[in-house]
Amino acid sequence: MLNLLFKSLFALIVLVIFIAGVVFDAKFLSQDQFSDKELKFNRTITQSVEFIPDQFSANISLESTNALRTKAQIAPNELEIITATLDKALKLAKDSQICKASTYSINPSYSYNDGARIITGQ
């Protein structure tokens, strides 16, 4: 029993000495250990390239008037007027070299009633 007490006391003394050494090192020895020998590297790299854009892509959506929004069918003469107007706008865009290729479409708008699709306008 006395042998166990001596071993425990010896282990406790070694532990206290170890902790005291760690505290002494942290408080007194390590404070300014690398302050004069510290290395820092900083580098800022900036790269820029100037260019002129040569392509542009756009989708333009035109809404119809209230009169066309409520028509289920477009009369042939009205369709010709709409087509001629849109063709003039496309030709103007092509001639001014804003656009090189363009298309348009006239689509009906629908509503649904009990699963049935009904044309409500253009």
Q: What is the pLDDT of residues 25-41, one digit of tens each?
A: 877 776 555 555 666 77
Q: Regarding predicted confidence, which is higher, 45 or 26?
A: 45
SS3 38: coil
Q: Distance between CA atoms of 27 and 7, rounded to whole angstroms?
A: 30
- Report helix, strand or coil for 36: coil
Q: CA 70 to CA 120: how far, in whole Å? A: 6
Q: Which amino acid is at 56?
A: F
Reported as a single tens digit per residue, the pLDDT across 47-74 is: 998 988 887 777 777 777 777 777 778 8
Distance CA 101, CA 94 (A): 7
Question: Which positions ≥6 away from 119 have C-beta within 8 Å?
Answer: 72, 73, 108, 109, 110
To the nearest whole number, what is the mean pLDDT of the chain? Answer: 81
Length of the chain: 122
**Distance between start and end Cα atoms, the chain:** 103
Query: What is the structure's pLDDT at 69?
Result: 74
Is the whole-model pTM more than 0.75?
Answer: no
Q: Looking at per-residue confidence, does 17 or 107 come out higher?
A: 17
